[in-house]
């Protein structure tokens, strides 16, 4: 009996509260997320749509789309209401006033108590979490923006320092922007020099491969990436890098690149700079050339030193003048690197040729006949053999089929009579 009386009392109280709400309460549905949306003394909440907005989060909230003004506590609750998921990173979506109203109605908000001002459409872009979110103060000229009231200016273009609620709501965004802009004062926690060094190595490899693809060569570029500490964790592993773009031909000096990387929120673009040094240019043959070919300018072209070339640039030709007019000492194929020793002075004496041997004794020159054991060009040292005594000497090639031996060479200076020779004064050449 006592329990029945208690239940009856509760029902009576609930009925009284309900009647009071109908007669004296606000004509607004009770939102499951909080008290009815209404300002002080029954005033309406003012909602101004932005011309455009950038959102770094997965969920789009009303405060991302619009400026909400009124009673601070009520306006803040309304501003925090979720509207919908944000579009993928890099994509755009236009939100009209009607679409925003519908989303608010689904969350229990009576939109008749909202006063709408400003533009009729807000363009939303999803940005990476590492980017500074900045809402443009002017409308995007590419988007047609129907106005609700032609006399109303977009709220994002108006500064109201006398509004305490606006100051309060803008303060966290200003602090976040100041923190992002003052990057020299902050760095990501737990980022050590070793982490930055590893990120630099990974970025270096990615940029090198990219440059080789862009130039269609195996050139060994010198790449020195500049990795800010706050980006090191983002590119700490190769599998985090999905793609790369940027740079400008001829890819030398300070270059800017964009890396598309995986992040907890999906994908994001990371911009970094790198100092690029072009590889050494060396000479290669434009076509197959036989042994003994006299090299002409059209036989040569430059190409970057291949990556991993073990002989070093010092063993290659880098100046065209060093090769033009020289004779190939061995045949080469097309696009083959010409190394030191592949070409030399034109051959003036072939092995087996009959040669004139001049023995230089001060101002006197003794001539005799002989045979070349080796081939040689101008000023080359070759082995020759005297015709009469088969004596081998080391001689210098002076001109075509003429060699000379000086008195300090291997020929005995005291036995010129053994030669079937003639003597004459040394001619000045």
The structural domains of the chain, with segments of one domain joined by +, span 40-181, 193-277, 281-344, 347-425
Distance CA 226, CA 224 (A): 7
* Residue 304 near residue 278 (C-beta atoms within 8 A): yes
Q: Which fold has domain 281-344?
A: Type Iii Antifreeze Protein Isoform Hplc 12 (3.90.1210)
* Residue 243 near residue 193 (C-beta atoms within 8 A): no
As beta bridge partners, residue 381 has 396
- The CATH code that applies to domain 347-425 is 2.30.30.760
Q: How many helices (H) and strands (E) does the chain have?
A: 7, 24
**Can you tell me which residue has the tokens 């790198």?**
274
Say what the pLDDT of residue 333 is: 92
Tokens found for residue 13: 């109280």
* Residue 344 near residue 377 (C-beta atoms within 8 A): yes
At residue 83, what are phi and psi to the nearest 5 degrees? -100, -50
Say what the pLDDT of residue 187 is: 56
What is the CATH architecture assignment of 40-181? Sandwich (2.60)
Distance CA 270, CA 231 (A): 8
pLDDT in tens, 130-181: 543 343 433 444 444 444 333 333 333 334 444 444 444 455 544 544 544 4
Sign of CA dihedral 186, 188, 194, 197: negative
Per-residue pLDDT of the chain (429 residues), as tens digits, is 444 454 455 444 444 444 433 333 333 344 444 444 444 445 678 999 888 888 887 788 898 889 998 888 888 888 888 888 888 877 788 989 888 888 888 887 888 888 888 888 999 888 765 543 343 433 444 444 444 333 333 333 334 444 444 444 455 544 544 544 444 556 556 678 888 888 889 898 999 889 888 888 777 788 999 888 878 887 877 788 888 999 888 788 899 998 888 877 788 888 889 998 877 788 999 999 998 898 999 999 988 777 777 777 888 888 888 889 888 888 999 989 898 888 888 888 889 999 999 988 888 888 899 999 998 888 889 999 998 888 999 999 988 889 999 865 444 333 443 344 444 444 433
Say what the pLDDT of residue 151 is: 33
Distance CA 324, CA 274 (A): 38
DSSP string of 31-58, one letter each residue = PTTSS----GGGPPEEEEE-SEEEE-SS
Say what the pLDDT of residue 160 is: 41
**Pairing, β 114-118 against β 82-85:** unpaired
Using CB atoms within 10 Å of the CB of residue 100, give its burial: 0 to 12 exposed, 13 to 18 middle, 19+ buried.
buried
Tokens found for residue 255: 């270059």
As beta bridge partners, residue 327 has 294, 344
pTM value is 0.35
Two domains, one topology: 40-181 and 281-344: no
At residue 94, what are phi and psi to the nearest 5 degrees? -95, 130
* Residue 111 near residue 32 (C-beta atoms within 8 A): no
Long-range pairs, 260-265, Cβ under 8 A, ≥24: 261/234, 261/235, 263/128, 263/129, 263/130, 263/234, 264/129, 265/56, 265/58, 265/89, 265/128, 265/129
Sheet of 241-246: strand order equals 222-226, 266-277, 253-263, 241-246
Distance CA 366, CA 279 (A): 54
**Which DSSP category does 299 fall into?**
G
Sign of CA dihedral 264, 266, 272, 278: positive
């Amino acid at each position: 009996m006592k329990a029945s009386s208690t239940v009856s009392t509760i029902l009576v109280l609930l009925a009284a509260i309900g009647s009071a709400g109908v007669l004296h309460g606000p004509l607004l549905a009770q939102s499951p997320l909080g008290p009815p949306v209404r300002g002080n003394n029954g005033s309406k909440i003012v909602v101004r749509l932005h011309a455009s907005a950038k959102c770094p989060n997965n969920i789009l909230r009303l405060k991302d789309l619009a400026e909400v003004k009124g009673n601070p506590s009520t306006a803040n609750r309304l501003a925090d209401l979720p509207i919908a998921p944000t579009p993928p990173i890099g994509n755009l979506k236009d939100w009209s006033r009607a679409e925003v109203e519908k989303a608010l109605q689904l969350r229990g908000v009576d939109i008749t108590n909202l006063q709408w001002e400003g533009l009729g459409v807000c363009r939303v872009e999803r940005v990476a979490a590492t980017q500074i979110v900045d809402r443009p103060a002017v409308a995007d000229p590419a988007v047609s923006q129907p106005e609700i009231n032609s006399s109303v200016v977009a709220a994002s273009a108006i500064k109201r320092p006398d509004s305490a609620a606006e100051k309060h709501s803008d303060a966290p965004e200003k602090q976040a922007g100041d923190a992002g802009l003052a990057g020299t004062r902050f760095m990501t926690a737990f980022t050590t020099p070793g982490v930055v060094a590893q990120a630099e190595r990974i970025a270096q490899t990615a940029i090198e491969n990219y440059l080789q693809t862009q130039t269609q060569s195996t050139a060994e570029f010198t790449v020195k990436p500049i990795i800010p500490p706050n980006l090191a964790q983002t590119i700490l592993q190769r599998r985090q890098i999905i793609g790369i773009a940027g740079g400008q031909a001829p890819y030398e000096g300070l270059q800017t690149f964009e890396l598309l990387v995986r992040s907890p929120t999906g994908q994001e673009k990371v911009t970094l700079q790198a100092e690029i040094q072009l590889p050494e240019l060396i000479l290669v043959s434009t076509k197959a050339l036989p042994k003994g070919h006299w090299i002409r300018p059209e036989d040569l072209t430059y190409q970057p030193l291949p990556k991993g070339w073990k002989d070093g640039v010092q063993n290659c030709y880098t100046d065209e003048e060093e090769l033009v007019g020289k004779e190939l000492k061995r045949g080469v194929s097309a696009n083959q690197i010409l190394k030191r020793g592949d070409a030399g002075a034109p051959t003036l004496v072939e092995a087996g040729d009959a040669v004139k041997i001049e023995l230089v004794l001060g101002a006197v020159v003794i001539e005799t006949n002989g045979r070349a054991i080796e081939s040689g060009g101008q000023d080359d040292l070759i082995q020759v053999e005297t015709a009469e005594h088969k004596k081998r000497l080391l001689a210098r090639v002076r001109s075509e089929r003429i060699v000379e031996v000086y008195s300090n060479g291997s020929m005995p200076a005291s036995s010129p009579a053994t030669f079937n020779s003639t003597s004459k004064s040394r001619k000045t050449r």
